[in-house]
Amino acid sequence: MNRSVSRLACGVLTLVLTACPLEQAPPPNAMSSFKVTVLGVFERVGNTRSALPVVAPCVLRYGSQAAVPQEAKGKEDCRYVIPRGEAEFDVEAHAVAIDGQPYDDFNGSVSFRVVPGDLPNNLRARWSLAELGQVKATVRAVSPYGEARVWVEDAPPRNIYDGGVVAQEELPPEPVAPLKRTFASGTSDPIYFADQTLQSIQMPGELDNRGSPFSGNFVMVGKNAGSVPLQQNCADDPARNGRDSLMVITGLDPAGFFVTDISACRVVEQLSDNAGASVRAANVEPPEPCWLTAADGGREENLDGGPGRCNISERACTRRSQCPGYSPGTFASIFVYNYNFPDNLDEGDLLFTLSGGIQEFTSTTQLVFPSWTTAERVRRLPEDQWDKWLQYARPYDITGRTCGQDNVEDIYFADALCGQNRRNLKLESLESGLVRLRRVRFPKRFQNCDFNANGSVPFFCDNAQGRVWDTCSFDAPEPEADRIERTCHHDCVVGLGENAGTICSEQATFRGFGQYVVEMAAPGPSALGLDDSLPQRVKTAVARLYVPPPVRDAGMPDAGTGDAGEADGGETDGGEVDGGVDAGIDAGVPQNPSTRLTAFFPGVQVAVTCDQPAHYRVGGSNVVASAADAVIAPGQIVRVTFDSANSAIAFQAISAQATCTVGQSARTRINLMTRDAVPELEPDCNEADPDEERAKQCQYLRGAEFDVIGHLRQAQPARPRWIVLPRAPDDLCCYPGPGLQCPRPIQPCP
């Protein structure tokens, strides 16, 4: 650039600067920050608030929870436990001026944050008013963890989006001009909470099984090699308290793998939450046993009210009702979504660490964008040690009680679907873990309800007021096309209308997602693979051998025909006639030829068993069984469906005595998916298939009952909502139907 041009540019710049003088910066705000002090940390269960416990190592150091000094709580070496629900922080904050002195002129609203953690989904709980520069409030946070801090800010609270911004009247008042928000903020000192475990990730604080409290957060579970291992903190399970966390791979999937912490704490069943929800009394898990305290360490049930100890919690007790009941699972399993088959991992491997983002997929909690470090590769060990860790991940039997059914005689209409209620935390405690189904029966029919061929059918919901299945579109009219498909769908799955009495699965759902409906075991003896969790739905009859009246000689006087004095003295010949026959009659051998169970309603299906051979007969209220009737053998299961003409069943023993059970079945359905584990198994088959071999295999499949082991997953839109996914063909075994075999490649159950 030449000098003249340079001088011209400088002149223009000088002119511009002279014409547009700079405005002076506004003076700094008088308030610069907040000094935040946490006075205490609490947890609330229902209407009760108590101090939040600290972890087990700190308790051991001081002797008890009550003995831990307040100033020690929340420090790095004395961490708080991760609360199951909301934690409450009693907070005091003081405004601070720019010169570091207290600032007493601040009167306005402040908002709160807890990091890491979430505030409750209630906008009014996210802010408070300050007066003369001071704020005293209780800040609630959902599941804080790790190194947490409470923030206080001169700022509006963050909006909550749930179908739109919440009501504006819940927002705090904004400063009136010329006052403005300063956005000054301050944080508390660190408050340390326990390290994450698979259990803390999965265990909800509310009676709602649809999500994890850490959904949307990044988490890391476990410790790297060479550091102090992650240890369990079990307030209600002393036997597992302080044990090292052991994360075992329980199964591989085309898109990831399943992990279970086999040393996780057993969890006392949650019976209520802060929202007012509660578990029905008839569906509560039974309390653990109360053992008598014995000097020799013996274990005898405490029945006389003496001093004792609860089996798991080791609480003092004098009777079983004083001990808690425990959830079926430990909330300590998770599916790791790896987007493809995980290389270099095998079933039974042990992990050091596991990290990633928490996501809900159809209400199944999973870890996404994962990473992990492996502690032990079991396939490098001798083959007989491949189950070194996996043997401790024992499958849990899903029963009617696990599905949420009440232990009462009456069957509720929603019992037809396992786990329909969203408050069911029994199944949630088992989510992504290994479970077992006993004696399930496969569909007899696949019905296509996708009449418009769009690849899906509407799902249905239970209308508790009318005890009927209805639309899930509660706030909008249901299109007629949807109503037709929905009605077809629930009639098939639940067993109504033309599908009454049969097992039906919707065909479009099976073809699109690979899942299909199976019917679970009926109530009855667990030794036969039936469900003994609902004893009120099982009736018991004790049948005895029919003893016909003795045949007497025409000239022989009947017993007792002598005078009263001789009869009372026992000097007549009556007791000697035909020896043991008369003795048996006098001893009270029943003359009723059968024992009868009555009052079964039309449509009720029952499973009948006897421990000894017995004759049985179904009929009206006066039905009688005789030696001419069919025989039920020990271990045999006979299924009977009552109708308007038959409301009772009678038994007659063949030997001296037979104890028979009649279990009323809710015909409960659950979903199964075998497409990946056993691709050659074809549930949607045709017993009249022109191919003779396919027809025969279909007859074998539909005539058999199966025990199934697999991982449990939730799918909220599905009906039923819970799905079991076997891992391989040997996760299934079969009880062949009469005169039939097991379908290929399934082997008979041992």
Run of H or E residues at 703:
helix 692-703
Which residues, including other chains, have CB under 8 Å from residue 334's CB and lie 6 or more apart?
A: 198, 201, 202, 258, 259, 365, 366, 367, 432
Question: Which residue intervals of 268-362 are DSSP H helices?
Answer: none
CB 360 within 8 A of CB 335: no
CA distance 73 to 360: 33
- Please spell the DSSP secondary structure of 447-493, one letter per residue: E---TT-SS----EEEETTTTEEEES-TTSPPPHHHHHHHHHHHHHH
Q: Which one-letter DSSP state was computed for residue 118?
A: B
CA distance 665 to 603: 10
Q: Is 518 exposed, middle or buried (0-12, 13-18, 19+ CB in 10 A)?
A: buried
CA distance 436 to 439: 10
3-class SS of residue 505: strand
pLDDT tens sequence across 403-428: 999 999 999 999 999 999 999 999 99
pLDDT tens sequence across 489-512: 999 999 999 999 899 999 999 999
pLDDT of residue 300: 82
CA distance 580 to 102: 104
Q: Residue 146 has which token pair?
A: 């790790």
What's the whole-model pTM score? 0.84
Q: What is the CA radius of gyration of the chain?
A: 35
For residue 516, what are the β-bridge partners?
A: 672
pLDDT of residue 575: 32
- Cβ neighbours, 10 Å, residue 54: 25
CA pseudo-torsion sign 32, 38, 39, 42: positive
For residue 147, what are the β-bridge partners?
A: 192
Largest CA distance in the chain: 158
Q: Which residues of 197-210 are buried (b: 16+ CB within 10 A; e: fewer)?
A: bbbbbbbbbbbbbb
CB 666 within 8 A of CB 415: yes
CA distance 162 to 608: 51
Q: Phi and psi (nearest 5°) for 233?
A: -120, 100
pLDDT of residue 570: 34
CA distance 684 to 603: 26
Q: Phi and psi (nearest 5°) for 198?
A: -60, -35
pLDDT of residue 185: 95
3-class SS of residue 559: coil
pLDDT of residue 596: 87
pLDDT over 90 for what percent of the chain? Answer: 67
CA distance 297 to 197: 33
CA distance 702 to 441: 7
pLDDT over 70 for what percent of the chain? Answer: 88
For residue 609, the one-letter residue type is T
CA distance 373 to 352: 5
Domains and CATH numbers, the chain: 31-192 (no CATH), 206-377 (no CATH), 433-520+670-748 (no CATH), 530-549+587-665 (2.60.120)
How many residues are recorded in the chain?
750
Q: Residue 653 has which token pair?
A: 């023993």
pLDDT of residue 584: 33
pLDDT of residue 169: 65
3-class SS of residue 187: strand
Q: Residue 226 has which token pair?
A: 């060479």
Pairing of strands 460-463, 732-735: unpaired
CB 415 within 8 A of CB 668: yes
pLDDT tens sequence across 444-485: 999 999 999 988 899 999 886 768 899 988 778 889 999 999
Q: Residue 433 has which token pair?
A: 């873990």
Count CA within 13 A, CB hemisphere, residue 386: 8
**Selection from 406, 376, 383, 177 nearest residue 281 by Cα:** 406
CA distance 483 to 132: 61
* Ranges in the chain, pLDDT < 70: 1-28, 46, 161-169, 295-298, 464, 466, 547-593
Q: Residue 652 has which token pair?
A: 């007659």
CA distance 74 to 188: 12
CB 249 within 8 A of CB 258: yes
Count CA within 13 A, CB hemisphere, residue 491: 12
For residue 645, what are the β-bridge partners?
A: none
pLDDT tens sequence across 222-268: 988 888 888 899 989 999 998 999 999 999 998 999 999 999 999 99
CA dihedral (277, 278, 282, 288) in degrees, to 10, reads: 150
